[in-house]
Amino acid sequence: MTQIVGASSTGAHGAGASSTGAHGAGASWSPARVAERMALLGRPVLWLSIVLLILAPCASFLVLAVSPRLFGQGSQWFTLSYLRGVLSGGSATALLNSVWVACAAAGLGLAVGFPIAWLTGRTDLPGRRFVAGGMWFVLLLPSWLPALGWQRLVQPDGVMYRIGLDWPFVTHAVMGPLGVVLLLGLRSVPFTYLAISVALAGLGQEYEDAARTHGATRTGALRLVAPILAPAITSALAICFAEAVSDFGVASTLAYASHFPLATYQLYSDINGFPPSFSGAAAVGWLLVASVAVPIALQARALRGRSYAVLSGRTRPVSRRPLSRRAKTVAVGFVSAFYVVALGVPGFGAVSASLLADFGASFRLTFVNYRQVLQSSGLSGPLERSLVYGAITASITVVGGFVFATMLAKKRTRSTRLLDFLLLASVALPGVVLAAGYIFAYNQPILSRIGIDIYQTVTLLVLGYVASSLPTNARVLVGAVSQVQRSLQEAGRAHGASGIGAWARGVFPILSRPLTMAWLLTFTAIFLELPISQLLYAPGSPPLSVAIQDNLGNYHFGTGMAQAVVAVAMALVAVAVVLGGYRLLAPVGWRRTGGVARG
């Protein structure tokens, strides 16, 4: 009996050996080998997509500043006259305004965002759990929406004057450089808050305790800790400057109405002028890109050769400092004032303006503007198109961003370092420059002759959306992807799952929440995106942001503001549907794995 069992066992082993041999003979066709070969084939495709979506369009546009004849825009093969031209006259004024406004906005963003981050991360501030959500809401709103709200509130014949508040000094203050700095500075606060909050989360209690032990006051302890946060502070300043100097929303609304020229709108005016000056616009684009590169380079130089490593095995968790009743009142008032100015006042201006008739000096409320938006296909069509464009772009960029994030999370090589640099540079690239590049890159006769005729089509617009969203999506996802170990997928393969099945069961549950948030981030950004939409939309099919701007430009203020209010409501509904669907459909384990601990 024993011999029979042993023989069977040996036979089985022999069969296994045969099977192994067969597997080895056909190893080139195994799922793992096929996936590996597809990955090797996919890398050139990914690099080609970067070239076609980002590098080629930008290079095609920027080269016009020095070689206009290359694209039939002049007779000169090489010239520096356009670059010299933007250093004087109206272009120089617009560029100088953009630079000093961006510096002031970055400083304002740090002055407001740092205290809010400190209060939420180091004290028992009441309602601190809602601060982060409010910051995301400020960040997700396009800059032109709050600008329109403020503009319709304080401009002559606006809401303020119709309710009897004849305050011209407020109009002059907001409709000018001060108002532009205020709006861009408020938009910079979330970037500062997020950067400082992450740094504070990793900064232990011992530094503050040491300062207090040696007799330092709380202000003195803060002065000790602030230099340790230098990487976060410089990163926040660089990001805020880049966002402010490349902003088009405020430049095309409040700044334009205030006759305060900014570089991004100057570039747009050069392209849309008659005759258009593409080479002059390209020269402005060069200076915009250079101005963004300066703070990033200064940040790298300031931090070079210094160590800011503060996490160790001895790091003690932070204990929140209790605030006195008076301090709590002041802190809550400070945080509330930020949200009132950033969201409440422009929100009131937008909603109230949408309830007013276009003409007349009385404060007569009417819903006629909303009825026009909801009943007229010419007004509801842009809303439907933007919903579709946002959903398509978000779906494409989440997949592409995940692939790029996976490449960045692997072992650092020359190719991944180059990819990291290109994606980071693309994040800081002004959208108006990217859109202008698409006009030249894909409006060439040679492309039409080979069957690529996508200029002034929805396809080109969606490609522009994808190119602008892909770098940000990859940077957002790289942190979550870096935390996933290969052993999770290998464990699924060991239990008999295929390559895709192992990823779906072992990796996707962990990444489901970051992927969902990345999808929402892209959707909300594209839904009301302005500069790319303005330059690339297909004739007769304007997206929502372009339709709103057209109504405002044709003095249909009430209709335009009603469209804007409906747009924000639809965006919030879409966010609620996606998050609610995730909460209802995703298993509990998925939600807990992707959740964020709250303190």
DSSP string, 489-527: HHHHHHTT--HHHHHHHHTHHHHHHHHHHHHHHHHHHHH
Q: What is the pTM of this model?
A: 0.74
User: Among 559, 242, 524, which residue's Cα sits nearest to residue 380?
Assistant: 559
- C-alpha dihedral (576, 582, 584, 590), degrees to nearest 10: -140
- Spatial separation of the C-alpha atoms in residues 198 and 175, rounded to whole Å: 35
Q: Does domain 82-309+319-365 have CATH number 1.10.3720.10?
A: yes
Which residues of the chain carry a pLDDT beneath 70? 1-43, 198, 201-229, 296-319, 357-365, 377-379, 409-412, 424-425, 427-428, 479-480, 482-508, 588-599
In Å, how far are 244, 301, 341, 416, 597 from 187, measured between CA atoms? Answer: 8, 26, 11, 32, 26
What is the pLDDT, as a whole number, of residue 228? 66
Q: What is the pLDDT of residue 449?
A: 78
| Residue 356 bridge partners (DSSP) | 365
pLDDT at position 27:
42
Q: Strand, helix or coil at 311?
A: coil
Handedness of CA 537, 542, 548, 550 (dihedral sign): positive
Which pair of tokens denotes residue 26? 């056909």
- Name every residue whose Cβ is closer than 8 Å to that of residue 451 and which is 6 or more positions away in sequence: none
Task: Please choose, from the candidates 68, 73, 86, 62, the residue with its C-alpha nearest in 3D space to the C-alpha of residue 266.
Answer: 86
Rg of the Cα atoms in the chain: 28
303 neighbors 234 (Cβ within 8 angstroms): yes
CA dihedral 40, 46, 51, 54 (to 10 degrees): -160
Helix (H) or strand (E) holding 15: helix 2-25
pLDDT at 262: 92
Same fold, 82-309+319-365 and 367-599: yes
In this predicted structure, what is the pLDDT of residue 337?
93
Rounded to an integer, what distance in angstroms lies between the CA atom of residue 408 and that of residue 50?
14
| pLDDT in the model for residue 348 | 86
Asked if 200 and 120 count as a contact pair (C-beta separation under 8 A), the reply is no
The domain ranges of the chain are 82-309+319-365, 367-599
| Contact between 563 and 351 (Cβ < 8 Å) | no
Q: According to CATH, what is the number of the domain 367-599? A: 1.10.3720.10
- For every residue of 48-97, DSSP letters joined together read HHHIIIIIHHHHHHHGGGT-GGGGTS-S-SS--HHHHHTTSHHHHHHHHH
Using alpha carbons, select from 521, 422, 425 the residue that is nearest to residue 469.
521
Res 191: pLDDT: 86
pLDDT digits (tens, 9 = 90+) for 475-487: 777 766 765 555 5
Q: For the segment 523-557, what is each residue's pLDDT rounded down to a tens digit?
A: 988 988 888 998 899 888 889 888 888 887 777 77
pLDDT at 313: 40
DSSP string, 397-464: HHHHHHHHHHHHHS---HHHHHHHHHHHHHHTS-HHHHHHHHHHHT--HHHHHTT---TTSHHHHHHH
Cis before 275? omega within 30: yes
DSSP conformation class of 538: P
